[in-house]
A and B are shown apart, each in its own frame.
Chain A
Amino acid sequence: EAQVTQNPRYLITVTGKKLTVTCSQNMNHEYMSWYRQDPGLGLRQIYYSMNVEVTDKGDVPEGYKVSRKEKRNFPLILESPSPNQTSLYFCASSRGGMSYEQYFGPGTRLTVT
């Protein structure tokens, strides 16, 4: 089954404790992206990757890191989480190019206290 998986689905952590949210896709997609969703603000792009070893900032990259060492994986790293990073996070993937829809993971609900 074609899918994007994210882990963990739910996470409660404390300020400053480094964490990683994993994202993996099995569709051989070139493009992957991370978003955060906050009430009333839609989805905002954090980072994206056009292919292996190619990453770039989205609209809200501060406080986040990413890497793309393999085509299928695109982890999101919060090195020192803060309460303002409490949010719902989505990973997505698609074929390269502007005309392809994105396939989304189920989301990760992160709470930073």
Chain B
Amino acid sequence: AQKITQTQPGMFVQEKEAVTLDCTYDTSDPSYGLFWYKQPSSGEMIFLIYQGSYDQQNATEGRYSLNFQKARKSANLVISASQLGDSAMYFCAMRGTNTNAGKSTFGDGTTLTVKP
């Protein structure tokens, strides 16, 4: 089985500041993929960033970076220079291999509010 835990139901950040959204995971797979998705109030799901379990470097995509600490089983999303448009729900997710091939597990999400 695989599990994703997001412990922050809601977060606030001031515009232009950086914010870290926490994600811890658990899996028995030797290799796996970790993802972050954004869901604005309009409801669509938007892919942000991917980290493979064997990747040596932390993933970055523009203002998004993933702080991957494999030993601690954490995959935190860092958003730099927050913008008002970053206000949304953010989901951490995992895809597995072996017995979990095809399984896709999401956390409960963190609602981020960016204050002007």
Listed in ascending order, the chain A residues whose CB lies under 8 Å from chain B are 31, 33, 35, 40-45, 48, 50, 56, 58-59, 88, 90, 92, 98-104, 106-107
Contacts and interface: CB of A to CB of B under 8 A. Distances in A.
B43 A98 contact: no
Looking at B45, B96, B101, the one whose CB has the most chain A CB atoms below 10 A away is: B45
A22 B15 CA distance: 40
A100 B4 CA distance: 18
B106 interface: yes
Contact of A43 (B31, B52, B106): B106
6 contacts: A31-B102, A42-B6, A44-B106, A45-B103, A45-B106, A107-B43
Interface of B: 4, 6, 9, 31-33, 35, 43-45, 47, 50, 52, 91, 93, 95-97, 101-109
Nearest to A56: B102
Given A50-B101, A50-B102, A56-B102, A101 B47 contact: yes
Contacts of A42: 4, 6, 91, 106-109
B33 A99 contact: yes
Looking at B102, B103, B109, the one whose CB has the most chain A CB atoms below 10 A away is: B102
Contact of A98 (B6, B32, B44, B45): B32
B107 A102 contact: no
Contact of B104 (A33, A41, A106): A33
A45 B91 CA distance: 14
Given A106-B43, A106-B44, A98 B97 contact: yes
B112 to A, nearest CB: 15
Contact of A48 (B6, B44, B102): B102
A58 B44 CA distance: 21
Contacts of A33: 102, 104
Given A40-B108, A92-B104, A98-B31, 10 more contacts: A33-B104, A42-B107, A42-B109, A48-B103, A59-B105, A98-B96, A100-B33, A101-B50, A102-B104, A104-B45
